[in-house]
Structure 1
Amino acid sequence: MADYQNTPVEDTAASTQMFRAFVDEPQPKPATAPSEGSRTGLIALGVIIALVVIAGVVYLAVK
């Protein structure tokens, strides 16, 4: 017969300490987004390119 009386006792203090260590870990910083100045520059460049393409299409349509 199996003896179920000698089961190991769970150490709840260690479990609590591990949980607190996990919860108290510093969160990793999110990846840095491009700065606001470079984002504005990219948008301006995109608008200028779009205007040049539209002007080229209009020029070819009128020609």
Structure 2
Amino acid sequence: MSQTPNDPAGTTHQFQNFAGQGPQQPEKAPGMNKGLVLGIAAVVVVVAIIAIAVVLM
């Protein structure tokens, strides 16, 4: 049986390179999505316009 050599220095070096790279994808800021907030605001405005139109009829 052939065994692959175990090189701790090589794996440590590889790990240090990996750790030094930082996050691959930018993290999203916590909080609500701006598109969701704008969508909800648009729905509220439309409902308010419809309610005012119904009251004035």
Provide the TM-score with structure 1 as the length reference: 0.45
Provide the TM-score with structure 2 as the length reference: 0.48
